Amino acid sequence: MKIKVFKELCSGCRICEMVCSLFHTGAINPERSAIRIRKNDLGNGLREPIVCRGCGKMACLEGERTEESQEVKKFTWDRKRAEKCTFGALPVFQGEAYHCDLCGGNPRCVKVCTPGALRIQHSKKRAVA
């Protein structure tokens, strides 16, 4: 499973950031969210969701001896992995990188995204649930 983004449908409401932080940390703090809404200042100026793409080949873990299947279940990661992510999809806050763990198989951001900008895509990789 992975989250597929349809950025043209994003309203920029940022509710996804709120529920991500609330679900994982117990408090609303968009800085502690694995999904981030960024303004595309160099392009069309619209807001677009950035979240881990669930890559088959995980550049973020390159050079590490670790079990991918275990790492993908974790919400906070070492910040060094953020520098290796090809898509800039690991936000860093206070020394930690925030990684989308798919809420254990029931992504809360997808549930609250009423415009449909976030959708679940099933794949063999990332079979979290």
Rounded Cα distance between 5 and 17, Å, is: 14
**Binding residue for ligand SF4 (CB under 6 A) from 3, 34, 60, 102?**
60
**Binding residue for ligand SF4 (CB under 6 A) from 44, 68, 78, 87?**
87
- Looking at 4-118, list the stretches that DSSP marks H as alpha helix, in order from N- to C-terminal side: 15-25, 68-71, 80-84, 108-112
Rounded Cα distance between 43 and 113, Å, is: 23
Binding track, positions 8-27, relative to ligand SF4; x by CB under 6 A = --xxxxxxx-----------
Instruction: Confirm or reject binding of residue 127 to ligand SF4 (CB under 6 A).
Output: no
Instruction: Confirm or reject binding of residue 128 to ligand SF4 (CB under 6 A).
Output: no
- Check residue 106 and report its DSSP letter: S
Measured at the CA of 22, the angle between CA 12 and CA 105, to 5 degrees, comes to: 90
**Binding residue for ligand SF4 (CB under 6 A) from 89, 98, 102, 108?**
89
- Check residue 128 and report its DSSP letter: -
Give the nearest distance from C-beta 42 to ligand SF4 in angstroms: 19
Instruction: Confirm or reject binding of residue 86 to ligand SF4 (CB under 6 A).
Output: yes
Torsion angle of C-alpha atoms 113, 115, 117, 119, degrees rounded to 10:
60
Give me the sign of the Cα torsion angle 53, 57, 63, 64: positive
Instruction: Confirm or reject binding of residue 3 to ligand SF4 (CB under 6 A).
Output: no
**Binding residue for ligand SF4 (CB under 6 A) from 59, 106, 111, 121?**
59
Residues that bind ligand SF4 (CB under 6 A): 10-16, 37, 49, 52-55, 58-60, 85-87, 89-90, 112-113, 115, 117-118
